Structures are given as structure tokens and as C-alpha cells.
Structure 1
Amino acid sequence: MWWFGIGLFIIEVTPDSLQLTAIYGFSNGGALLLLSTLVGDIIDRTARLKAARIALFLNNFGIALCCVIVIFVFTFRTEIETKLPEQGLLKLCFTLIIILMIFSNVCNLGRTLVMERDWIVEICNRKTDNIATMSATFRFIDLCTNAFAPLLTGQLMTYVSSMYGAVFIGSWNICAFFIEYWLIGMVYGMNPALHSKDSTIYGMNLR
């Protein structure tokens, strides 16, 4: 929902220019390229459950905070444009939106590394066939989500408004956080192999 909605939000808050969209795309790609190794190193040095929950928290609440700023811009656009010279406050809001989007994407990368590159391997006891099956299941769920989430969000933004779309996405991320937090703990408790971190995402010994 977020990846679909944020593109529409950016276009709506800057309908006369694609500059903000271009800045976001360039900055996001550069940040993921430069920070991916650092994120992997941090995950390697952090306990599995702690790393997963921190990445989840930062990702979901980063998105929620970004949605709050988007809603603020939608609601008070006229007043924001006149508060500082040369639309300074509006530009500050745009900057915060881009920074929070990039931050959330980096955290999402960390969560993906934790779950799909580390937890799955340990849960499957490093058996290639089991890893392939579980990875395929994850991918199926991911593809279904990518298909249906934009459909739901698009309908809401079309028939209600983009602002309420931002409210929905932000609220969903906050509610989903608590459910995911509990599920992560449950999966961790059910799999003793996750309690010992002898291996990293890349299959190398940490000790």
C-alpha cells in the first residue's frame, strides 16, 4: 500500500512538477546502494529477535510519521505556503517526506534480510529443498499483497480522497506493527535454532 500510495501522494502535493519524484527516486536508490552493507553488518551484530523487531518498528512507524506529514500538507497546504519566505515550510515538509521514505525503505531492507535471508535458512535447518519451498511461499504471499494492496488503496483514494488514503495507510502500519511484533515473537519461540546466532545472513560463522 505504501509503495503504491507514496507515488500518488508525491504527484498530488506537487502536481505541476516531477522534480520531487525524481529527487526521491535518485536519493532512494543511492541510499539503498550505499547503506545496504552497513545494514547487513548491523544485523549480523544484533540478536535475531531484537534485529527483527527494531527493523519492524522503525519501518512501520517511519511510514506512519511520513503519512502524518503528508496529511498535514494536504490539510494546511495554503497556510504552509505562506509561513516562510519562498515556501520554506513547504520545502521543509517535502524534505522530511523524502527522508522518512528513504529511512523506511532502508529499514524494510533490513527486515527483508532478517526474515528471508536468515530466519528462513535456520527454520528450515539449512535444507535446500525446505528453503526453496518456504521462499516460494513467501514470494507467493508477497506477490498477492502487491496485487491486492494497491487495488484496495487505489479504490479508497479514488472514491474518498488521497488524504484519507494516507490516514488509512498510516493507521494500517501502526495496527499491523503490533500484530507482526507478536507473530515474530511467536515464530522465534517455536524455533530454538533461531536462539543461537552461529551464522549470519550470508552463511558465515560469527563466532
Structure 2
Amino acid sequence: MADPEQSPLLPSSTDSTSATSLPTVSLYISHALSTWNSRVFEYAAVLFLTEIIPGSLAPSSWYALGRAGSVIVASRQIGNYIDSSPRLPIIRKSIVYQRIAVIISCGILFLMLRASVNVLHAATPGLVFSLQSELLIVLIFLACIERLAAMMNLIVVERDWVVVIAGGNIPLLTKLNSQMRRIDLFCKMVGPLTISLIISFTSVKFGIWVVLVTNLLSVGIEYWAIARVYHRVPTLALKTPQSHRSLSPSNTSVQAVRRSFSSWLTPFVEWSRHAMFLPSLTLSLLYFTVLSFGGQMIVFLLYEGFDTAHIGWLRTLSVILELSATFSAPWLMSKIGAIRTGRWFINWQSVSVVFAVVFFCYFSDRVGLWGLIAGVILSRVGLWGFDLAVQVQIQNGVEETKRARFSSTETAIQSIFDLLSFAATIVCADPKQFKIPAIVSAAAVCISAVLYSVYVYRAQKL
């Protein structure tokens, strides 16, 4: 029986990388486990916090705000570290750091859950609330570590390893991107649905145990699988670490602060001057949204009377449509190219979110709510098709020596917009005010579509 690792991705190619056997199974196993754990914990943490501290959007918003803020602050350091280090040690560290952060977070959630039960019987409930607040701060700190490790893993695999494995073969690169995205969407569909059903039919405590045990069991397999990929693709070991200029000693603290700020700002300036700036910016702007079945919308739907199982099924339907984009986008790119494909999908998303918000604002009853849900679900096809089209452009348009730096900066920009979306629900913490961030989200998508049209116009003139 043939080793599944020996199956070539394409039947034939002039490129040596695609003509040889590739360890695709190991690559997909590692990515699937990493994505599953990340998606489940990201979704479950919102459900856990909502159950432990009910009645407000603020706790989950502060939690997500901290995650996004950590990326903004540490993006330069992460990018420089990836560029200046060998590939295998980086990704192994990202796996271990991510799992340790989640495991400790589960312990903190157990303590918060116990405190939420004790508050009902406490003689001094104020002390219990204070304890919960302190534990929430620790949880946010751990979430920052988990987010940075996940970011490191994502940049290394999707923006570097996949490009090196493809070896300049565009059809192979598109195929790898699509398969990785399908894995991501499958985990996004099945993972949250699974944890939602577990919580619905058992308890929050049992759900926390499931997340903890899953992370414990998967770390060794991830560690082994990614090493197998590295050793089976010799070109991954050929990376030449890039050194980045460090800050020179300063005579005054004021000069030190200025130099530090200038150093932090430099990658953003480089990113804004790169040829791939506009497509990167338009993709990043889409992170300024509450219309995504993310934390804010989940809390809003729970407030409106949906239970976790119903939300899980709605999210599953959304992901099924998102998966369709991983088939339609590569096909369309093969017909009209990545740039024009991106325009089709961003326009689809714009029309869908405008429909959703108009329905939601015009109808105040259940009809408006279901119109919102339907529009959001339809918009996800446009989002993921656009994501794939832009990713191919960026992978081919950014130099190898700048991939990590560019990608980490792009992730920081995405986190800024993500942060703004959570800031909107902190300001509008009452679920009755959800229409305001929903309108702002739709406006962000429309602005993104306009900016991408500018990019397409410029590209056609070249």
C-alpha cells in the first residue's frame, strides 16, 4: 500500500518542488490540530465568559480587546524574530506556547466558574466580584500569549512554508492555499458546534475539561507532524536568517523613547509603501466588523434568546457556504485571475452586509433579526473568496526576505481594526445598541470595496 505522504499534489509540473513527493498529510495534520484548538478555544472562551459573567458585552469585549492589542504592540518583534530565526524552532515554540497558555487559561476559568457559584451564597459578594475581575485580568494576559503564538504559527506556515513548498508553482500554491483554508473552515464549523453541543447537553465545567484535555493530547502530535514536513522538504532548511538593526544606545531617556517608537513604526511605514499595500489594507479593513458570528454577535444572539446549540447550527450553515468559496475562488482565479476574482467577491460581500443591516434596522421584530443573520451568512462567501484571492497576490508579491515582517505588520493592522470593533461594543455594551456597531461594520466593508476598486484600476493601467 502506498504511503499517503508520497502522493503528489499535481500530476505533472515543470517545477521540481511539485514534481517530487510532498509530505502533505503531515502538513495538513499539523495545521488541522493547530486550527482546531485555536478555533475551539477562541469560540469557547466567549461562551465560558458569557456563562460565568452574564448580562453584558463588556467581559468578552475586554478579553478580545486584549488579544488584539497584544498583536499591535508585539507585531514588529514577532516579525523580526521570525525573519532572523530558523524555521523549525520557531514553529515548535509557537505550538508549545499556545498549548501552555490554553491549559493554564482553563485552570483560571475553573476558578472563575467556582467564584460565580459562590457569589450567590457569599456574605460579601463584592469580594467575589473583585476576585473575578482579577482572574479576568490574568485570563486576558494568557489570551495575549495564546494569540501571539497562534499568529506566529499562522505566519510561518501560511505565508512562508507553503510558499517555499510550492516553489514558484502558482497552481500548486493555489491548491495548497485552498486546502489549508478548507481545513480552517472545517475546524471553524465543527469545532464551535461541537463545544456548543457539549455545553448545551452537559455543563460549562465539562466544556472546559474538554478544551483542556484536547490541548494536552494534541501538542505531541503537532510537534511531530510539523518536524516531518520540515525534514521531508529540504528547501525549508535553506532559509538565510535576516538581521534587523537594533536600537543604538541613547544618552537620554527621551531619545530612547523616540528611537523605540521610531523602530516600532518603521514596519508600518514599509508596509504602507509596498506594492501590495492596497490589497493588504482592504483585507485588513474587513476585520472591523461585528457581523461575523464572532464574540460580539454571539453574545447579542444569546441576549435575543438563541441558545448555544442554535448559534452553533447557524455558524455551521455559515461555514458550509464559506467552504464553497474555497472551491469557487480557485476556479474563478484560473479563469480571470486573482485580481479580478477579488473584485467579484468583495462586491458580493458588500451587497450582502448592506442587505443585512438594512433589514435589521428597518424591521424591529424577529424578521429583522433573521434578515441580519441571513445577510451575514451570505456575506461570508464573499469574505473567504476575497481572502484567498488577496492571499495569492500577497504571497507572490512580497519578497521572501520581507514575508514575516510584512505579514506580522498586516496582522497588526488587522488587529487594530479588530480592536476597534470590540471598542465599539464596549462603548455600546448594551445589546439593545447592537445596531450601531452593525452599521459601522457595513460601512467598513463598503470602504474596503471602494479601495480595492482603486487597486484594480491601477493594476489594469500597468
Shared fold (TM-score, shorter chain, > 0.5): yes
**Deviations 1:72-114, CA, capped at 9 Å, x for gaps:** 2213445587699574432221111111112201110110001
Q: Which residue of 1 aligns with 2:108?
A: 69
Find 2:201's aligned residue among 150, 155, 159: 159
Q: Which residue of 2 aligns with 1:204?
A: 401
In structure 2, what is the Cα distance between the partners aligned to 1:199 and 1:120? 18
Give TM-score, length-normalised by structure 2.
Answer: 0.42
- Residues 173-184 of structure 1 mapped to structure 2, 5 A cutoff: 173-184=215-226
In structure 2, what is the Cα distance between the partners aligned to 1:15 and 1:205? 44
Find 1:38's aligned residue among 70, 77, 81: 77
In structure 2, what is the Cα distance between the partners aligned to 1:159 and 1:21? 23
Instruction: After superposing the two structures, state which structure 1 stretch, 192-201 or 177-186, moved more.
Output: 192-201
Find 1:97's aligned residue among 139, 153, 156: 139
**Deviations 1:104-140, CA, capped at 9 Å, x for gaps:** 0111011000111111111122322211110111001
Residues 150, 84 of structure 1: alpha-carbon distance in 2 compared, 3 angstrom cutoff: same
Is 2:192 the partner of 1:192?
no
Is 2:330 the partner of 1:133?
no
Please give the secondary structure, in 1, of the residue aligned with 2:236.
helix
- Any stretches of 5+ residues in structure 2 without a counterpart? 1-39, 243-397, 404-462
Q: Offset at 1:172?
A: 0.5
Residues 184, 83 of structure 1: alpha-carbon distance in 2 compared, 3 angstrom cutoff: farther
**Deviations 1:176-200, CA, capped at 9 Å, x for gaps:** 1111001011111111111121377
In structure 1, what is the Cα distance between the partners aligned to 2:125 and 2:215? 31
In structure 2, what is the Cα distance between the partners aligned to 1:199 and 1:42? 9
Q: Offset at 1:32?
A: 1.9
In structure 1, what is the Cα distance between the partners aligned to 2:139 and 2:125? 18
- Any stretches of 5+ residues in structure 1 without a counterpart? none
* Contact 2:85–2:241, Cα closer than 8 Å, also in 1: no
* Contact 1:123–1:191, Cα closer than 8 Å, also in 2: yes
**Deviations 1:153-186, CA, capped at 9 Å, x for gaps:** 1111110111111110111011111110010111
- Structure scoring higher RCO (CA < 8 A, sep ≥ 6) equals 1
In structure 2, what is the Cα distance between the partners aligned to 1:193 and 1:16? 53
Q: Which residue of 2 aligns with 1:52?
A: 91
Amino acid at match of 2:236: L
In structure 2, what is the Cα distance between the partners aligned to 1:72 and 1:148? 28
% same residue:
23
In structure 2, what is the Cα distance between the partners aligned to 1:205 and 1:42? 12
In structure 2, what is the Cα distance between the partners aligned to 1:158 and 1:6? 15
Amino acid at match of 1:90: Q
Is 2:44 the partner of 1:5?
yes
Please give the secondary structure, in 2, of the residue aligned with 1:204.
helix
Work out the number of aligned pairs and report it: 206
In structure 2, what is the Cα distance between the partners aligned to 1:186 and 1:5? 31
In structure 2, what is the Cα distance between the partners aligned to 1:202 and 1:73? 46
* Contact 1:67–1:167, Cα closer than 8 Å, also in 2: yes
Of the two, which has the highest radius of gyration?
Answer: 2
* Contact 2:94–2:150, Cα closer than 8 Å, also in 1: yes
In structure 2, what is the Cα distance between the partners aligned to 1:133 and 1:46? 28
In structure 2, what is the Cα distance between the partners aligned to 1:205 and 1:59? 25
Give TM-score, length-normalised by structure 1.
Answer: 0.90
Residues 196, 95 of structure 1: alpha-carbon distance in 2 compared, 3 angstrom cutoff: same
* Contact 1:83–1:89, Cα closer than 8 Å, also in 2: no
In structure 2, what is the Cα distance between the partners aligned to 1:62 and 1:130? 35
* Contact 1:71–1:167, Cα closer than 8 Å, also in 2: no
Residues 10, 205 of structure 1: alpha-carbon distance in 2 compared, 3 angstrom cutoff: closer
Q: Offset at 1:18?
A: 2.6
Instruction: After superposing the two structures, state which structure 1 stretch, 196-205 or 18-27, moved more.
Output: 196-205
In structure 2, what is the Cα distance between the partners aligned to 1:196 and 1:131? 19
Find 2:152's aligned residue among 110, 127, 132: 110
Amino acid at match of 2:49: I
In structure 1, what is the Cα distance between the partners aligned to 2:127 and 2:200? 34
Q: Offset at 1:12?
A: 1.4
Instruction: After superposing the two structures, state which structure 1 stretch, 190-199 or 72-81, moved more.
Output: 72-81
